[in-house]
Amino acid sequence: MILLINKDREYLCNPGDEIGTDLGVLRVPEEIKIGDIVETHLGRKFTAVKPRTTDMFRHLERTGAPMLPRDIGLIIGMAGIGSEDRILDAGTGTGILSICMGNIGAEVVTYEKNLEFVKVAQRNVEKAGFEKQIDVRSRDVLEDLENLSGFSVVTLDMRNAEKVVEHAREILAPGGFIIIYSPFIESAKRVVEMAREIELSDIKTMDTVQREMQFDPRGSRPQTGGVGHSGYLTFARKLP
């Protein structure tokens, strides 16, 4: 994939694509390289850059409300996810979390029971180029729990996540992390109660609130628009 940028316009595309824009038709050369300049038929110039996962978040297909990059960054940073991790992800959605974890070299098995979401996620994984690292499975993870074990990290973005947490000790490798995204505090509470019941360690829930600052001649303050709160992230670990 190539990202073509002209100021406030950008297009995620493949070599050989032809894209109609309000600045003219873009014909992407088959041999395009990073840094090349591509002109539309009206002479407007676009620069080719390598897309990052944050670019993919904006341009890949959506199935609803995907997890935000700030939440994904917190998950990766708090769990110390790296290239040697084998990860179970349930509630694939658009696949953006799996793609971000695959981007740092992790092997991901991700479950999604909504068939339409599965199709979108598979297309996104293919566009991102991680088909070999990310296994998108079209079924309910609850039906496969007895076959799942040895994962260094488990990430959940699904209803009734506590039902998976209940089996975390069987699914996780020693020292492994389980991270649960909850849109509502009630579901986060159920997850924490289950984690305590099965005696997981280092249990903590974080309210993911973030506000961008704005600076203008009148003064400086947080922006009033945009998403301030996105959800709750619960972290727990399997320790002896």
**Mind listing the pLDDT tens digit for each residue in 137-182?**
999 999 999 999 999 999 999 999 999 999 999 999 999 999 999 9
Q: Quick one: pLDDT at residue 227?
A: 64
Task: Report d(CA 50, CA 70) in Å as an integer.
Answer: 21
Q: Quick one: pLDDT at residue 119?
A: 95
Beta bridge partners of 162: none
Angle, CA of 18, 24 and 28, to the nearest 5°: 30
The CATH number of the domain holding residue 13 is: 3.10.330.20
Strands 134-137 and 107-111: parallel
pTM of the model: 0.85
- State the DSSP code for 215: E
Domain count, the chain: 2
Instruction: Say whether both 45 and 59 belong to one domain.
Output: no
Instruction: Say whether both 131 and 67 belong to one domain.
Output: yes
Beta bridge partners of 20: 25
Instruction: Say whether both 218 and 127 belong to one domain.
Output: yes
Tell which phi-psi region holds residue 62, choosing left (phi > 0), alpha (psi between -120 and 50) or beta. beta
Instruction: Say whether both 45 and 60 belong to one domain.
Output: no
Low-confidence ranges of the chain (pLDDT < 70): 226-227
Q: Which residue has the tokens 């406030």?
A: 8
Q: Quick one: pLDDT at residue 117?
A: 94
Q: Would you state the torsion angle of the CA atoms of residues 118, 123, 129, 132, taken in this order, to the nearest 10 degrees?
A: 40
Instruction: Say whether both 25 and 75 belong to one domain.
Output: no
